[in-house]
Chains A and B, each alone.
Chain A
């Protein structure tokens, strides 16, 4: 019972966090802020996926969140590197 409410509370927190990062992606003044907001968005999505797996009682979503974590990290680094060097793989 208490666990159900805690899961709902956590859904609300990370859902609001996801909306705030989305607003930041739209309204960011600078490209660095936008990269940071996208990276935070990826982390929030990982949290929501893990939470959904916890609620549904399956382990399928952990593999999915692992893949999203790796792709998010690589894309953030690639984006930042593109700004730094104008090129990703030299």
Chain B
């Protein structure tokens, strides 16, 4: 019984390690900035999720109490990753894309990230790449 539990936990650990490695390798390997956004925010988050599942299982089996901290961290990371990716994508559009190259925004008059309001003093104008 002990051996089976150890094998299951070890399986979770190995899979999460491969996912975490793949995520960071994609960060340095992929060519396009928006492709690079794809690898760490999904693969690494999944890797940490698997690792935390393994930690939960091992605490439950070897120390015989249920620990919910790991679940909290997993939940937080899974909520935080899309928000992070969205913000980085927005900053990429803001700095590197022109309104003519982007797809049609549909019902809206223009892309909110590229919208320049003269009365908004906090907003820097969309200058050339630097």
B83 at the interface (CB under 8 A from A): yes
- Residues of chain B within 8 A (CB-CB) of A36 are 27, 36-37, 40-41, 88
In the complex, how many angstroms separate the beta carbon of B35 from the nearest chain A beta carbon?
A: 11
Chain B residue at smallest Cβ distance from A27: B28
Q: Chain A: how many interface residues by the 8 Å CB criterion?
A: 55
* A90–B7 touching, CB < 8 Å: no
B98 at the interface (CB under 8 A from A): no
Interface size class on chain B is 35 or more
* B52–A50 touching, CB < 8 Å: yes
Residue of A21, A32, A70 with most partner-chain B CB within 10 A: A32
A-B contacts counted at CB < 8 A amount to 167
* B95–A44 touching, CB < 8 Å: no
* B44–A50 touching, CB < 8 Å: no
* A43–B77 touching, CB < 8 Å: yes
| Given contact pairs A59-B59, A83-B91, A10 touches B14 in the complex (Cβ within 8 A) | yes
* A32–B48 touching, CB < 8 Å: no
**With A and B bound together, what is the CA distance between A10 and B18 in angstroms?**
8
